[in-house]
Amino acid sequence: MNSNYGWWLPVAASSYAGRIDGSLAILHWAMVIIFGLWAVYMAYCLIRYRSSASPRADYHFTESMKALTPDVVILVFEVWLIFFVGVPIWAHIREDLPKPPEAVTVGVTAEQFAWTAHYPGADGQFGKQDIRLVNAGNPLGLDPADTAGQDDVVSVNTLVLPVGKRVLINLSAKDVIHSFFVPEFRIKQDAVPGMRIKLWVEPTLEGKFELGCAQLCGTGHYRMRADVLVKSAEEYQKWLDAQKKGI
Ligand SMILES: [Cu+2]
The string of pLDDT tens digits covering residues 139-167 is: 888 988 888 888 899 999 999 999 999 99
Distance CA 38, CA 41 (A): 5
Distance CA 47, CA 162 (A): 61
User: How far is ligand 1, taken at its centre, from the CA of residue 110, in Å?
Assistant: 7
The angle formed by the CA atoms of residues 105, 109 and 113, to the nearest 5 degrees, is 145
pLDDT of residue 99: 84
pLDDT of residue 103: 86
User: How far is ligand 1, taken at its centre, from the CA of residue 60, in Å?
Assistant: 58
Domain spans of the chain? 17-95, 104-242
User: How far is ligand 1, taken at its centre, from the CA of residue 2, in Å?
Assistant: 21
Whether residue 230 contacts residue 163, with contact meaning beta carbons closer than 8 Å, is answered with: yes
User: How far is ligand 1, taken at its centre, from the CA of residue 177, in Å?
Assistant: 7
Q: What average pLDDT does the structure give for the chain?
A: 91
- CATH assignment of 104-242? 2.60.40.420
Q: Of 198, 178, 182, 200, which is closest to residue 190 (Cα–Cα)?
A: 178
**pTM summary value:** 0.85
Q: Cis omega before residue 113 (within 30°)? A: yes
pLDDT-based confidence at residue 3 (cuts at 50, 70, 90): low
User: How far is ligand 1, taken at its centre, from the CA of residue 115, in Å?
Assistant: 9
User: How far is ligand 1, taken at its centre, from the CA of residue 218, in Å?
Assistant: 7
Distance CA 24, CA 95 (A): 21
User: How far is ligand 1, taken at its centre, from the CA of residue 99, in Å?
Assistant: 28
CA dihedral 135, 138, 143, 144 (to 10 degrees): -120
Q: Is the pLDDT of residue 210 over 60?
A: yes
pLDDT-based confidence at residue 247 (cuts at 50, 70, 90): low
User: How far is ligand 1, taken at its centre, from the CA of residue 217, in Å?
Assistant: 5
User: How far is ligand 1, taken at its centre, from the CA of residue 221, in Å?
Assistant: 5
Q: Is the pLDDT of residue 65 over 90?
A: no
Lowest mean pLDDT among 95-99, 108-112, 169-173: 95-99
pLDDT-based confidence at residue 70 (cuts at 50, 70, 90): confident
pLDDT-based confidence at residue 61 (cuts at 50, 70, 90): low
